[in-house]
Amino acid sequence: MTTKNQEEIFRAKVNLETSTIPWKELQRFFASGSAIFVAADLDLVEVAFQISEDNKALVAQWLAQGEIGQVTDDQARIWFDADTEVWAVVVSPYVLIQEIKNVLHS
């Protein structure tokens, strides 16, 4: 199997492991500092893949641009108060969290 095929299989596996979950159920990960926010314009599965592959350069770029980072106290409070559901996936030791985009269907 080629590396490209292995990467696609891993991405598909990660995609299957993503789930919506109420933010309130992720409080222990936030408290331990392992809740990582992923900006809405990034692909959650791709971020999970790059972190799992230890792509330091790309992760550092996202961190520097504020596109990923630890969930802040303010963001956690807003999500908690609004009873927000988020997309989440585990990339040990982290839980990657992304706000669900509101899409209106007509």
Condensed to tens digits (0 to 9), the pLDDT of residues 41-98 reads 999 999 999 999 899 999 999 999 999 999 999 999 999 999 999 999 999 999 999 9
**In the prediction, which pLDDT does 22 show?**
96
Structural contact between residues 50 and 79, judged by C-beta atoms closer than 8 angstroms: no
Task: Kindly report the pTM of this predicted structure.
Answer: 0.86
Cα dihedral 52, 77, 86, 32 in deg (nearest 10): 30
Is 103's pLDDT higher than 60?
no
The answer to whether residues 79 and 17 touch, using CB atoms and an 8 Å cutoff, is: no
Q: What is the tens place of the pLDDT at every residue in 8-43? A: 888 888 888 889 999 999 999 999 999 999 999 999
Q: State the pLDDT confidence band at 1, using cuts at 50, 70 and 90.
A: low
3-state secondary structure (DSSP) of residue 100: coil
- pLDDT of the residue at 47: 96
User: Which of 19, 11, 13 minimizes the C-alpha distance to 96?
Assistant: 19
pLDDT at 106: 38
